[in-house]
Amino acid sequence: MGTLASVLEQEGFATVALSGVRGQIETTSPPRALHCDFPLGRPLGKPNEPEFQRDVLIEAFSLLEEPAGPVLVDYPISIEDDADAPLSCVIPPSDTSDRNPAASEALGLLPAWRRTQKKYGRSSVGKVITAEQVPDMLDLFTRITDGESWDKVGFPGNPIKIAADIKNFYEEAAISLNDNPPSARSAESWFVTETLGGQTIQTARIKMKEADVDFDIWYYLLPMTQHHESEQDSL
Say if residue 43 is in the same domain as residue 115: no
Q: Which domain holds residue 202?
A: 101-234
Say if residue 26 is in the same domain as residue 111: no
**Is the pLDDT reported for residue 46 higher than 60?**
yes
* pLDDT digit string, tens, across residues 160-185: 999 999 999 999 999 998 876 666 57
Say if residue 112 is in the same domain as residue 224: yes
Find, among 173, 162, 187, 163, the residue nearest to 123 by Cα. 173
pLDDT computed for residue 62 by the predictor: 95
79 occurs within a structural domain: no
* pLDDT digit string, tens, across residues 67-124: 777 899 999 998 876 555 556 677 888 777 788 999 999 999 999 999 999 999 999 9
The CA-based diameter of the chain, rounded to the nearest angstrom, is: 70
Provide the number of structural domains found in the chain.
2
Say if residue 118 is in the same domain as residue 203: yes
173 occurs within a structural domain: yes
87 occurs within a structural domain: no
217 occurs within a structural domain: yes
Say if residue 50 is in the same domain as residue 106: no
16 occurs within a structural domain: yes
Say if residue 147 is in the same domain as residue 38: no
**What average pLDDT score do residues 33-60 get?**
88
Say if residue 151 is in the same domain as residue 223: yes
Say if residue 225 is in the same domain as residue 145: yes
Say if residue 70 is in the same domain as residue 105: no
pTM over 0.75: no
